[in-house]
Structure 1
């Protein structure tokens, strides 16, 4: 056999063809991998935060609160800096702390809610929550409303939460809110 025939035999061998194709693809794979390096372009908060088990406390007027679980699937911490909802004139991110006299008091959460990398935080009665102040209409059990979270990178995500009955905790509000008392359970 001359060298032309040997080359023809090797090229038509299915294993060699697949191997040659795989080798030829390596430069393309390397270029593709380097162009999507996640360390150069961090994911936006809206793209990595999941909201689960979300609900809102039923209320006739005044104040209410939203609860749930915020989960971060990225390799960096993400901070929720604000929230809005068509259900309320004003929405704040709140925490509950124990005052010197032993009573629980809620107050705005300085710096927002930090959701750790590959972690989660709970928004729950008697702890971190999203406070609705100045309800636009009653929040009736079984109804749903939307809440939009804004992150420290400027991105935002909207979720829907169902309104539920909850007798709840009895915290006092720390700060000035035009004389309105907090709704129990916030």
Structure 2
């Protein structure tokens, strides 16, 4: 008598079922292991995943207001609109533009509709033009320090960037009439 237990032979039909079930199990494990976390090629990519900001900086200020500048680049195939921003450095951040008033003087005002970054394009936020306005600073913004800035887009997505605080003496636009702060130093 053998030391090994006897194995009962199955019918050819049962063996095929067992083989098919084993093959399906292996395929399921293989498909799961090889799957990617990347979206399908036709799935929309969130704006926050397509927008990068470079050369970003914030104007140094002791109190009151400041502004953030830099280059927003869209790596996607569709335009993305920046609709809001926040920062722990201020109570609120507004998207602003600078336009000439009836006398030709530069007037700063909130930009209705946000800032649209074209597909595969770039928008530069700069003094005297579109920028992110820090309102009611919570603490001084000292040259050489950094602070974070959360950018929110029209699809509800967001991205966080860090910006260095720099000295800047230019600007000095006026706010549009009826706003609570009459001048802007950046």
Same fold flag (TM > 0.5): yes
Query: Deviations for 1:83-115, whole angstroms, at most 9, x for unmatched residues?
Result: 000000111000000111010001111100100
TM-score normalised by structure 1 residue count? 0.77
Q: More helix per residue: 1 or 2?
A: 1
Say whether residues 1:149 and 2:151 are aligned partners: yes
Query: Deviations for 1:30-84, whole angstroms, at most 9, x for unmatched residues?
Result: xx9xx8232xx21101100010000000011111000000000111000010000
Contact 2:108–2:173 (Cα < 8 Å) also in 1 = yes
Say whether residues 1:183 and 2:184 are aligned partners: yes
State the shift of 1:174 in Å. 0.7
Secondary structure at the counterpart of residue 159 of structure 1 = strand
> Within 5 A, what are the aligned runs for 1:133-144?
133-144=135-146
Unaligned runs of 5+ in 1: 1-27
Residue of structure 2 in register with 1:167 after alignment: 169
TM-score normalised by structure 2 residue count? 0.77
> Within 5 A, what are the aligned runs for 1:1-186?
36-38=40-42, 41-178=43-180, 180-185=181-186
Once superposed, what is the RMSD of the aligned Cα atoms?
1.6
Q: Which has the larger radius of gyration?
A: 2
Unaligned runs of 5+ in 2: 1-30
Which runs of structure 1 show a deviation greater than 3 angstroms over 4 or more consecutive aligned residues?
Answer: none
Aligned length: 150
What is the alpha-carbon distance in structure 1 between the residues aligned to residue 40 and residue 177 of structure 2? Answer: 47
